[in-house]
Structure 1
Amino acid sequence: MPSPPIQVFLTTIASQPVLRKRQEYILRILQTKKIPFTPYDLASDEDAKRLWKRKTPLDKQQLPGILVGGRYPGDFDAFEGAVECDELDTFLRLKETWNADVDEDRPAPAVKPVGVPGAVPVSQMTPEHHKPKYFPKDPDASLKPVNKREGDFDISTELEGFGLQGVRVTDDDLWQLVADLGLDGDEAADMVNSLGGGADTRNSAEPSPSRSELKTQAHQETEPGEGEATPIADNNVSKDYKH
């Protein structure tokens, strides 16, 4: 039997440095210890916001927050204390068993993209026994038309945890991006390769000559070549005219 599911409640509207650091700390600990969790952004997810308020005491609703199996285990200070005292297994109930049919009072909110850095998509953090529940297969998915550009790919496979799920780009898009950032040469190539892109094909066609190149070419064609004599005007015409 799996352990109770862990839900982490965050916000993309984190203007206070303390709030950002606490979110980063929780996410870093869970990822380092490879503990699966489901992130929610309360700034945009109303269902998750209602769940958080319903399950949490009124004086303990500060973010970031955690629910374990639908229960409130404690605030951030309690989480930090559990990490320092090596009691995270107890705090997160990792050694307990969980039966969704018996222990869950209602279905969890639908999983949505989270724009908080470090909040890895749940599809990559959730163990296999939870995936059928959170990611049910759509039998009609193969029948739905998909508009794709040739050669594009999902950028979230390379940039995890930035809310880019479903954003598709091509190699040309990546090259244009690094160009806009002021990168060129080897630096640009390294950046594109690190993002999963390929060779630059934007300038594969032969560029048309510039205006200055055309003027230079025309000037060279009118000048005599090396070793050629410059034609001399015939003076006989003027002599005959005088006579």
Structure 2
Amino acid sequence: MPSPPIQLFLTTIASQPALRQRQEYILRILQVKKIPFISYDLASDEDAKRLWKRKAPLDKQQLPGILVGGKFPGTFTDFEEAVEYDELATFLRLNEPYNPAVEEDRPLLREQPIGVPGASSPSQMAKPEHRAAFNASPSPSPLRTKTSAADVRKRDEAEFDVGQELVGYGLQGLKVTHDDLLKLVQDLGLEGLERDDCEG
């Protein structure tokens, strides 16, 4: 059975630097330890605000807030102490079995993208119709692909100014293709000779 869901209650309207730092701290710890969580923005999600006010004790409703399996495990200070004393697994009930049918009085709130840095990845914040772009595999590197015969032919058909390649022979302005040069080498009987053999 999975462990209880972890719900984070944050706010995008964090004018106090201390609040922003606490939010970033919780997010960083959970992400580094790869602990899954659901985040809510109380500034824009009224259902989440009602849930937080209903579940957290009146004197402990400071943000950021945490619910584990729909229950209030403690304040931010308690979370900090759990991290410091290596008791985070106990605080977040990570090793406890969880049965939503028995433990939840209501289904979990639907997660919505929020603007708190680190609370959601860009792919989570994207609209459903745009999420496919995040899941698409990146285009292959041109350096990793092998050149096909068709690509070589295309390159060979491209003309270039041989005078820029062979400076000082009066060939400026003479346009040739790689195929033209290969045919010339063949006509002169120079195929198979290395460049060093031709010089000198």
TM range (shorter): 0.5 to 0.7
Secondary structure at the counterpart of residue 36 of structure 1: coil
Q: Where does residue 97 of structure 2 map in the other structure?
A: 97
Residue 120 (structure 1) aligns with: 120
> Is 1:28 paired with 2:39?
no
Alignment length (residue pairs)? 135
3-state SS of 1:4 partner = coil
The residue aligned with 2:72 is 72
What is the match of residue 106 of structure 1?
Answer: 106
CA distance in structure 2 between the aligned counterparts of 1:167 and 1:85, rounded to whole angstroms: 44
* Aligned mates of 2:17, 2:42 — CA distance in 1: 18
Structure 2 vs 1, CA of residues 167 and 118 (structure 1 numbering), >3 Å: closer, same or farther?
farther
In 2, distance between residues paired with 1:84 and 1:165?
Answer: 38
Residue 10 of structure 2 contacts residue 116 of structure 2 at CA under 8 Å; is this kept in 1?
Answer: yes
Matching of residue 56 in structure 1 with residue 62 in structure 2: no
Confirm or deny that 1:2 pairs with 2:2: yes
- Do the aligned partners of residues 23 and 166 (structure 1) sit closer, same or farther apart at CA in structure 2, a change above 3 Å counting? same
CA shift digits 1:77-109 (9 cap, x unpaired): 000000000000010000101111111111111
Cα RMSD for the two superposed structures = 2.3
The answer for the alignment partner of 1:42 in structure 2 is: 42
Equivalence for 2:87: 87
Aligned counterparts of 1:30 and 1:87: Cα–Cα separation in 2: 13
3-state SS in 2 of match to 1:43 = coil
Following superposition, the deviation at residue 166 of structure 1 comes to 4.8
| Equivalent position amino acid for 1:28 in 2 | R
Specify the code of the residue in structure 2 equivalent to 1:82: A
Q: Which amino acid aligns with 2:51?
A: L
Instruction: State the SS of the aligned residue for 2:93.
Output: coil
State the 1:120 CA deviation.
2.4
Q: Give the aligned residue type for 2:99.
A: N
Structure 1 segment 120-139 matched on structure 2, within 5 A: 120=120
Once residues 126 and 12 of structure 2 are traced to their aligned partners in structure 1, the CA distance between those partners, rounded to angstroms, is 14
Which amino acid is the alignment partner of residue 64 of structure 1?
A: P
Deviation at 1:164, TM superposition (A): 4.2
- Structure 1 gap ranges (5+): 122-155, 169-195, 198-243
TM score, norm. by length of structure 2: 0.63
Rounded Cα–Cα distance in structure 2 between residues aligned with 1:92 and 1:26 = 12
Cα pair 2:113 2:120 within 8 Å, conserved: no
> What residue identity is the alignment partner of 2:93?
R
The CA deviation string for residues 48-103 of structure 1, in whole angstroms up to 9 with x for no partner, is 11100000011100100100011101101000000000000010000101111111
Larger relative contact order (CA 8 Å, sep ≥ 6): 2
The alpha carbon displacement at 1:165 in A equals: 4.2
> Match of 2:175?
none
Instruction: Write the distance in 1 (CA, Å) between the matches of 2:49 and 2:32.
Output: 27
Q: Which residue of 2 aligns with 1:188?
A: none
| 1:122-152 deviation per Cα after TM superposition (whole angstroms, max 9, x unaligned) | xxxxxxxxxxxxxxxxxxxxxxxxxxxxxxx
Instruction: Quote the Cα distance in structure 2 between the aligned partners of 1:33 and 1:165.
Output: 27
Normalising by structure 1, report the TM-score: 0.52
Corresponding residue number in structure 2 for 1:11? 11
Gaps of 5+ in 2: 131-137, 140-200
The aligned counterpart of 1:180 is none
